[in-house]
A and B are shown apart, each in its own frame.
Chain A
Amino acid sequence: MTPLVVFLLVFLSFPALVNIVYSLSDVTFQTMRAPEIVGLRNFGEVLIDPEFWAASWFSLRFGVLTAVIECSLGLALAIFLSPIVSRHGWTMAILMLPMMVAASMVGLMYRLVLHEFAGPLPHYLTLWFGTSPAFLDANNAFWTLVVVEVLQWTPFAFLLFHVAYISIPSEIREAAAMDRASAWKIFWRIELPMMKATIAIALGIRFIDGFRVFDNVFALTGAGAGGSTMSLSIYIYQSFFKGGQIGQAVAASALLFLASLVLLYGGALLHSRLGQRRAAA
């Protein structure tokens, strides 16, 4: 028990305590050892900073969109490719490849792929259609980033759904088929409800990953023209290291932590209420 307590104290409590102190202090790199307590000022400054809200909105949109698209595509692939993947296991390895690449490398790779002069995509688009869109300009960058994220992480959702899909006992499908249920009905009434928990988990994981996105966005567009692709993680990083506003950066992290806590607690509460209602019915 003692080692566990020591571990928790050293690795969790101390950083948490430092973060709390810093979030309530006027502190820079020069004054890290002598922070001046200023109360809730940092929180106030973060909350009235339009950049914080713009970054939060970017992260929220990015997280929701990528999670929904990845899970929809992953689910479709799991169902349509299930016979092939079950028969030829090696195809799974190929489908998983994008996940194996570090996110920052993906960002760098797409910087090359989308470059007007060096990239294959603009080259062929120009060759075939006489022009190529500016994938990374302020108007298109958001959607380009969504596509890049989806291409990398849809295999993760696919993997979860494939496992859930093949875990459904075949007897259930056979029984439904004997009752003349159509393929759509089998999917809608049997398979989908049985995969509900996996779908919720996949959506949750992908949303969290999308919401806290940093590496590939930072490598591909940075904060974007006028901060147009600044995620909350990039905002915190820039405030901390580039701006040297340590107190504000930590306060923003704390706000993010509180928002996550409220979201998770709300989700758990909703789940429990729904469970109770179902049991009562």
Chain B
Amino acid sequence: MTKMRSLMAAGLAAFLSATAIPGIASAEVTVLGWPGGSEETALRAAVEAYNALPDVADDDKVELLFFNRDGFYDKLQADLAAGSDAFDINLIATYSVGRYAPFMEPVDLGADAEKVFGKPILETMQFEGKQYGVPTDLSLHFMYYRKDLIDALMSDEGAKTKFAEISQKYLGEALEPKAPDEWTWNDWAVTALYFTKSVNPDSPVRYGTVLQMKNLLFNMMVFQSLPRAYGADWMDASGKVTVDSPAYRAGLELYKKLYDAGATPKDSLSYEYPETNAAWTSGQVATALQWNAAAGELMNPDTAPGVAENTAVVAPPAGPEGRKDHIHGLGLGLNKNSKHKEGAVRFLKWLASEDAVLAYAKAGGSPALSPSVVEKIAAERPDLVKLGEFAGSYGYVMNGATSANALSIYEVQAKEFTAYWAGQKSLDEALSAATTSMTDLLK
């Protein structure tokens, strides 16, 4: 009897593994999305809208598949490399397009896609000139600042002397307080120093800023808008790596100056996204360069009760080359091993249409849209107006940042730059090591 039960259980398991898993891939279009957060909620809403369309055949209906965020890209990489067909459409990001491109197929989204998103946004999903996905969500950075503190500084004539003294001491030039919209990186740095207790004991907050300096690739994305404003790029048109440049030096030195002066928390070398939010909501920080995704938390009185009403955002400060804002997109593209490519392409084309992006945005997604499209949802999602404006005006992608080794390059920079900030390497050593590794990775 026991033997019979065991055999039946084994038979059932074999049946399930032989039918259920391939079933997911062949009966419908399966989309592997970014789990949790607004992206999942928005994708669910968009898929529901798509499946409800009268002209979508049963075989083309879309089914969603999510796995955990932890190690998502590692698992996706392993699945794609193994030739999995368990999903037809998968998530990609700007910095991983090149890595996943060999396992994916380009898609033609049609001429209208450019009208919906705009050219720079579509480029966040391109590799070697080919479109690999629909840009569903855009990430960039805001300079968050405390309105109450800056207003008080601007209206206090007496503070100008102190401000100029600090500026002279740390930057070698006497600057005056400016409105955040007019900040250069040096203006911001002096403002940060002015609001640092250890520099200015009269400061009402402990720190002038909070820098994300952990050895983490995403922190390099936050940092690089500073050198970019000074003209930095990963490589020039001839393919020569240009990380050892005056622009990168200016940015790295400014971060170190602020860290050494105590303008950012002592533990900043272990800070990333959540630590920055916690520092901000404590009410002890005057400015922070942080992802746009944090706006929902930092400007919401329920989640940031002490500071939300006084939190405002501007684009990152300007350098000699103007304001620059790192952008990268999350998107959805076609798995090369898909068993349902036609249906998958039909869904991707729909997802790049105006109706789809509006449904996606209404449900909480963060697509960067062209001005004519975003105005249709501006009343419900005013933050998307700023997102589109910053992306369109200041957005950039470094030369090589969609290559197959883009993630590894960010890793290299994170390791070398944090070594410099921590005082483990000189600037020359760090930049020399970064140049060697990047040259190897960008070959």
Contacts and interface: CB of A to CB of B under 8 A. Distances in A.
Contacts of A136: 267, 269-270
A100 B321 CA distance: 54
Query: Interface size bucket, A side?
Result: 20 to 34
A32 interface: yes
A114 B267 CA distance: 9
B411 A238 contact: yes
B269 A223 contact: no
Given A117-B282, A238-B411, A223 B275 contact: no
A137 B214 CA distance: 9
A117 B424 contact: no
Contacts of A138: 269, 422-424
Given A29-B81, A30-B102, A32-B81, A228 B424 contact: yes
A242 B415 contact: no
Contact of A225 (B281, B405, B424): B424
B132 to A, nearest CB: 15
B399 interface: no
Contact of B416 (A137, A226, A228, A244): A226
A137 B279 contact: no
A225 B408 contact: no
B269 A137 contact: yes
Given A138-B422, A226-B415, A243-B408, A115 B267 contact: yes
Nearest to A245: B408
Contacts of B217: 242
A242 B411 contact: yes
A132 to B, nearest CB: 8
A30 B278 CA distance: 40
A171 B400 CA distance: 76
Nearest to A144: B270
Given A227-B415, A242-B407, A118 B282 contact: yes
B340 interface: no
A226 B424 contact: yes
B215 A115 contact: no
A242 B213 contact: no
Interface residues of B, number: 39
Nearest to A122: B267
Contacts of B278: 115, 117-118
Nearest to A104: B70
Contact of B77 (A29, A220, A224): A29
Interface string A16-47: 00000000000001101000000000000000
A221 B214 CA distance: 8
Q: Do most interface residues of chain A lie in helix, strand or loop, or is the interface mixed?
A: loop
A225 B272 CA distance: 12
Contacts, number: 93
A103 interface: no
A227 B284 CA distance: 29
Contacts of B82: 32
A201 interface: no
A222 B273 CA distance: 14
A154 B101 CA distance: 47
B74 interface: yes
A38 to B, nearest CB: 16
B146 interface: no
Contacts of B411: 238, 242-243
B275 A225 contact: no
A116 B99 contact: no
Contact of A29 (B99, B216, B415, B423): B99
A156 to B, nearest CB: 25
Interface centre among B404, B405, B411, B418 (most CB of A within 10 A): B418
Contact of A137 (B81, B102, B270, B284): B270
Contacts of A133: 266
B204 to A, nearest CB: 16
Interface string A231-244: 00000001001111
A134 to B, nearest CB: 3
Contacts of B177: none
A111 interface: yes
Nearest to A126: B206
B267 A225 contact: no
Given A114-B267, A244-B99, A223 B215 contact: yes
B183 interface: no
Contacts of A116: 265-267, 279
Nearest to A123: B282
A135 interface: yes
A269 B182 CA distance: 73
Contact of B425 (A32, A134, A226, A241): A226
Contacts of B420: 226
Contact of B419 (A111, A118, A220, A226): A226
A224 B419 CA distance: 9
A225 B407 contact: no
Contacts of A226: 215, 415-416, 418-420, 422, 424-425
A29 B103 CA distance: 10
Contacts of B216: 222
B427 to A, nearest CB: 13
Which 7 residue pairs across A and B have the least CB separation, nearest first? A226-B419, A134-B266, A136-B270, A117-B282, A225-B422, A138-B422, A225-B418
8 contacts: A32-B81, A116-B279, A117-B279, A134-B269, A136-B267, A138-B423, A220-B270, A223-B215
Interface of A: 29-30, 32, 111, 114-118, 133-138, 141, 220-228, 238, 241-244
Given A137-B422, A222-B214, A228-B422, 18 more contacts: A111-B275, A114-B267, A115-B267, A116-B265, A117-B279, A138-B423, A221-B214, A222-B215, A223-B215, A225-B213, A225-B424, A226-B422, A227-B415, A228-B424, A242-B411, A243-B408, A244-B99, A244-B404
Interface of B: 74, 77, 80-82, 99, 102, 213-217, 265-267, 269-270, 274-275, 278-279, 281-282, 284, 404-405, 407-408, 411, 415-416, 418-425
